[in-house]
């Protein structure tokens, strides 16, 4: 795999995970810091089951697990949800690091590789699906909830159900991003999926704003930036942080 195609794959991964987080955070107003955790689950499922089955099974499995989990988790509001999802992501990472069956902290090689064209096609598919989803009635309910949860409940919206559904969809998309990552890089280890990755995704989503296309462009730009700043990881993170801070301070609807 050439350097350019690896970057292309990484961009697809970043865009896909950002779109996943977009569903939960922008559309529904629920801040999740667990992106990396859900990605790692997808990546590990792909690493062990490979092939087309893995790509389909990982998001489906994540959806099935996180949907009921959402009913429990999304009772929590704002900061607490963020902390709980961060906790789940870190728990997943610690467990993966300690289970020798999945390679422990050293990680594991992935046999089934995806070529860049497949990764890009997968991302475009997700973008299309997210776009479709944002036109559905559920998405409108999500927007209503993100604006005023109590009022939505008062209007008869099944808030918990809608939030859980969106959360599970978001997790499934992040899991899919994990599959793309595993297939493209050919190696997964728990430390590929730290809080830093969740932060990078969050930066793309917050800076991108309300439009999924803008989120896509933003994730792409940030990924290109990090490719240019390879070897200067500190500068990259400082730029991310500054951009995030400026967005929080300046934008009206960040």
60: contact with another protein by CB under 8 A: no
User: The tokens of 57 are what?
Assistant: 């099974």
Matching residue, tokens 């929080």: 248
Q: For residues 147 and 113, give the distance between their C-alpha atoms in angstroms, rounded to a whole number.
A: 42
Q: Which stretch binds another protein (CB under 8 A): 3-11, 71-79, 135-143, 213-221?
A: 71-79
Part of the chain binding another protein (CB under 8 A), chosen from 2-10, 53-61, 168-176, 230-238: 230-238
CB distance 174 to 200 below 8 Å: no
Residue 68 binds another protein, judged by CB under 8 A: no
Alpha-carbon gap, residue 43 to 29, rounded angstroms:
26
Q: Return the sign of the alpha-carbon dihedral for residues 139, 223, 236, 214.
A: negative
Q: Phi/psi of residue 229, each to 5°?
A: -95, 20
Question: Between 12 and 26, whose beta carbon lies closer to another protein?
Answer: 26
**Interface map 139-178 toward another protein (x if CB under 8 A):** ----------------------------------------
Footprint of another protein on residues 196-225 (CB under 8 A)? 199, 202, 206
First to last CA, the chain: 37
Binding of another protein at residue 195 (CB under 8 A)? yes
Within 10 Å of residue 116's Cβ, how many Cβ atoms?
19
Q: Which residues of 164-176 are buried (b: 16+ CB within 10 A; e: fewer)?
A: bbbbbbbbbbbbb
The single residue among 98, 115, 136, 158 that binds another protein, judged by CB under 8 A, is 98
Closest approach, Cβ 253 to another protein, in A, equals 9
228 touches another protein (CB under 8 A): no
d(Cα 116, Cα 1) in Å, to the nearest integer?
Answer: 9
With binding defined as CB under 8 A, does residue 72 bind another protein? yes
Which positions touch another protein (CB under 8 A)? 29, 31, 72-73, 75-80, 82-84, 86-88, 90-91, 94-95, 97-98, 195, 199, 202, 206, 233-235, 237-238, 240-242, 244-245, 247-249, 254
């Amino acid at each position: 795999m050439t350097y350019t195609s690896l970057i292309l794959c990484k961009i697809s991964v970043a865009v896909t995970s950002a779109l996943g987080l977009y569903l939960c955070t922008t559309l529904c107003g629920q801040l999740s810091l667990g992106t990396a955790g859900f990605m790692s689950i997808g990546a590990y499922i792909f690493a062990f089951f490979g092939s087309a089955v893995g790509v389909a099974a990982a998001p489906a499995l994540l959806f099935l697990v996180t949907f009921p989990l959402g009913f429990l988790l999304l009772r929590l509001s704002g900061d607490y949800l963020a902390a709980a999802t961060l906790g789940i992501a870190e728990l997943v990472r610690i467990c993966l690091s300690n289970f020798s069956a999945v390679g422990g902290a050293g990680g594991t090689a992935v046999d089934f590789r995806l070529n860049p064209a497949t990764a890009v096609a997968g991302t475009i598919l997700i973008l299309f699906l997210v776009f479709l989803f944002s036109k559905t009635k559920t998405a409108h309910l999500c927007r209503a909830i993100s604006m005023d949860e109590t009022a939505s409940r008062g209007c008869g919206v099944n808030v918990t159900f809608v939030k859980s559904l969106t959360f599970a969809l978001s997790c499934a998309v992040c899991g899919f991003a994990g599959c793309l990552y595993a297939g493209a890089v050919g190696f997964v280890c728990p430390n590929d999926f730290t809080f830093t990755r969740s932060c990078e995704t969050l930066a793309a989503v917050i800076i991108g704003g309300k439009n999924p296309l803008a989120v896509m462009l933003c994730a792409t730009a940030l990924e290109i930036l990090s490719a240019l700043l390879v070897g200067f990881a500190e500068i990259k993170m400082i730029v991310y942080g500054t951009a995030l801070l400026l967005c929080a301070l300046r934008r009206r609807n960040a």
